[in-house]
Amino acid sequence: MAASVVKMSADRSVSTPMLHAEMTGVTRIYAAKGKTPGVHALGPVDLALRQGEFFSVVGPSGCGKSTLLDVLAGLSSPTEGKVVFEGAPVTGSVPPGIGVVFQENAAFPWLSVKDNIAFGLRREGTDPAEVERRVGYALGFMGLEDFAAAYPSQLSGGMRQRVCIARTLVMQPRLILLDEPFGALDAQTRLLMGDELLKLWRETGATVMLITHALDEAAMLSDRIAVMSARPGRIMEELETGWPKERDSRIASEDHFGQITSRLWKRLREESIKATARGGA
């Protein structure tokens, strides 16, 4: 089933965007284990991420969103189909250039904020002066300078999440994949974190794919939004928001924002009911 494409604004024509990552005919079936039956979690899915866009994926609980991210990142192999990043096939490991931010509280509790952020760079054997420079920048960018020596348990949930984003950011990924990174935060903090993410996206020029269950978050942050069906997750619709690149959480008070969220909700409502009726994830 081909996904329908909806443009929420007529005047924003994207001129031959460059392809950054692509999934073609991807399915993921988790094999049966003992008495646990196999699960057809995802697909078939076709997905094309454009260079430098902010792309979000919304879908009912348990529909295969994390599976989609894992397969795109090379953390999990597709049962069928093909994944390509910057023209090369993704097979079995996360390619350099892709950074992943997992769900909340993935910071290492035994490392300070600074050491958490430096972890990946040090593991790669980056020159210590360069580590210092990049970590210093990330601490400043994420507003964590005063907490460089603190441990994750001494931080708020939002600050811990900023540490996780900074840890990915210092690796200078060209494609950033985020799996419900603000899930545990309150609504206001989520909006502010969204602003930081938009700033990061603009400054780095990276392509971003955000998985979220929050329709307002997707509506505010994205250039394009994919709406997934109940499991096995397929892309039912792709929606272009038409937002200008310079945007922040203030657009949440615009009529256009309401139009986007109500369109998303309309598509998702039925699917969420289906997912809930059979026990969600």
Ligand X SMILES: Nc1ncnc2c1ncn2[C@@H]1O[C@H](COP(=O)(O)OP(=O)(O)OP(=O)(O)O)[C@@H](O)[C@H]1O
Is 275 one of the binding residues for ligand X (CB under 6 A)? no
Is 39 one of the binding residues for ligand X (CB under 6 A)? yes
Site string for ligand X, 182-221 (x = CB under 6 A): -------------------------------x--------
**The pair of three-digit structure tokens given for residue 159, joined into one six-digit string:** 């600050």
Is 212 one of the binding residues for Mg ion (CB under 5 A)? no
d(C-alpha 275, C-alpha 271), whole Å: 6
Q: How far is the CB of 4 from ligand X (least distance, A)?
A: 21
d(C-alpha 202, C-alpha 148), whole Å: 25
d(C-alpha 108, C-alpha 125), whole Å: 19
- Give the residue with the Cβ less far from ligand X, 261 or 272: 272
Is 229 one of the binding residues for ligand X (CB under 6 A)? no
Give the one entry of Mg ion, ligand X, none that residue 231 binds, where binding means its C-beta sits below a cut-off of 5 to 8 angstroms depending on kind. ligand X
Taking each continuous run of H as one helix and of E as one strand, the counts in the chain are 7, 11
- Give the residue with the Cβ less far from ligand X, 66 or 249: 66
3-state DSSP helix/strand/coil % of the chain, to nearest 5: 40, 25, 40
Site string for Mg ion, 21-60 (x = CB under 5 A): ----------------------------------------
b vs e for 1-28, b when ≥16 Cβ sit within 10 Å of the residue's Cβ?
Answer: eebeebebeeeeeeeeeeebbbbeebbb
- Choices 61-69, 137-145, 155-163, 186-194; region in contact with ligand X by CB under 6 A: 61-69
Among 66, 161, 168, 241, binds Mg ion (CB under 5 A): 66
Residue with tokens 């210093």: 136
Contacts to Mg ion by CB under 5 A: 65-66
